[in-house]
Structure 1
Amino acid sequence: MKKSIFMIAIFAITMFSSTEMLAQNFPKIDVSPMDAASFPENWRDSNKLVKVIYSRPQLKGRTLDKLAPKDKVWRTGANEAAEITFYKDVTFGDKAVKAGTYTLFTIPTDSDWTFILSNQKNVWGSYFYDKAEDVVRVTGKVTKSKDSIEAFSIVFEGEEESATMHLGWGSTIVSVPVKG
């Protein structure tokens, strides 16, 4: 009987300590959490045209120019560079693009932004951006938002096989059409 109680106690201590060790390995919540935007937006519609996976940095009193510098290649979000998947052949901006997954980079300017689809995959930031891997470059139209957008966001709007992707941050909104 004493042996059984002793074994149960050892087992309980072992389970408690191993559970505690596992819990200590979980990282803190990312301050720029990952998000996804897709078109069509409805989760029940599995016949998607496009989906973007990106991280959402916050302004936190900083300027857009500080976080997405003008005239420099930007990862289009935070952490890993954004990835965009087209589920069928599309026209992105004014260029034909084959179905597939690409890394989405942008180059911000005052008047317009350049959208870059790259064959590079699993890229952290834009530190290792390689122009030789570009698939297409298109121009996005810049407009101003009446309200400030604290967290970088991507949304789609449209109908059937025709959508517009909008990137919004601070008072800037950049748009590019996507057509199936």
Structure 2
Amino acid sequence: MKRNTLLALTLFIGFFSLNATAQEKKKASPAASVKETTSSGATITIDYSQPSVKGRTIGGEIAPYGKVWRTGANEATVFEVSKDVKVEGKNLPAGKYGLYTIPGEKEWTIIFNKTWKQWGTNYAEKDDALRVTVKPEKSPSFTEQMTFKIAKSGKVTLLWGDKAVSFHVK
């Protein structure tokens, strides 16, 4: 009897361990975070999930041109600044924001939304704190998983596929 109970318990634990491992491996858009204190003294933190291109077209099958995109996957991407800053010359108060974009072939609109703690697709324009427009560039190399970089100068760059989309925070 003890042997059967022990065997059943071992199988039960083994099943749940394998299931948890399989779920970890299935995570298609892993969480990432980047943080930098700029030369102007503002600390910028971006918490996001990294979708992969997977052979799809940016502006078509993923992040469609002309439509608000959550700029990542899963929960809203959180953009935080430790003090009042200027983004592309426009004022943005210290705090946390949901980061959204409207991708385009010739320009991208970067949106800082006051509602940051939410599922990424729950966007409401009435909660926008700031919108700026920037020009995308061709990335020097292909980036499969969407990635943010923050330079000491305050240049924030989204790299994904063959795209590089940058904005300046001062």
Name the SS of the counterpart of 1:70 in structure 2.
Answer: coil
- Aligned equivalent of 1:51: 45
Provide the residue aligned with 2:156 in structure 1: 165
What is the aligned counterpart of 1:28 among 17, 20, 24? 24
Matching residue's letter, 2:37 = P
CA distance in 1, matches of 2:155, 2:15: 47
The unaligned stretches of length 5 or more in structure 1 are 1-5, 42-46
Structure 2 unmatched runs, 5+: none
Larger Rg: 1
Alignment of structure 1 residues 1-180 onto 2, 5 Å:
19=13, 23=17, 26=20, 27-29=23-25, 30-40=27-37, 49-65=43-59, 66-126=61-121, 128-159=122-153, 163-179=154-170
Separation in 2, partners of 1:24, 1:85: 37
One-letter amino acid of the structure 2 residue matched with residue 28 of structure 1: E
Letter in 2 for 1:36: S
3-state DSSP class of the match of 1:67? Answer: coil
CA contact (8 A) 1:167 1:173 kept: yes
The CA deviation at 1:117 is 0.7
3-state SS of paired residue (2:126): helix
User: Residue 42 of structure 2 contacts residue 85 of structure 2 at CA under 8 Å; is this kept in 1?
Assistant: no
Cα root mean square deviation, aligned: 2.5
TM-score where L is the length of structure 1: 0.78
Identity of aligned residues (%): 33
2:152 counterpart SS class: strand
Residue pair 1:84, 1:104 contacting (<8 A) in 2 also: yes
1:121-160 deviations in Å (ceiling 9; x for gaps): 332232x21111111101123111232221111101134x
User: Matched residues in 2 for 1:63 and 1:22: separation?
Assistant: 37
Aligned-pair CA distance for 1:23: 3.6
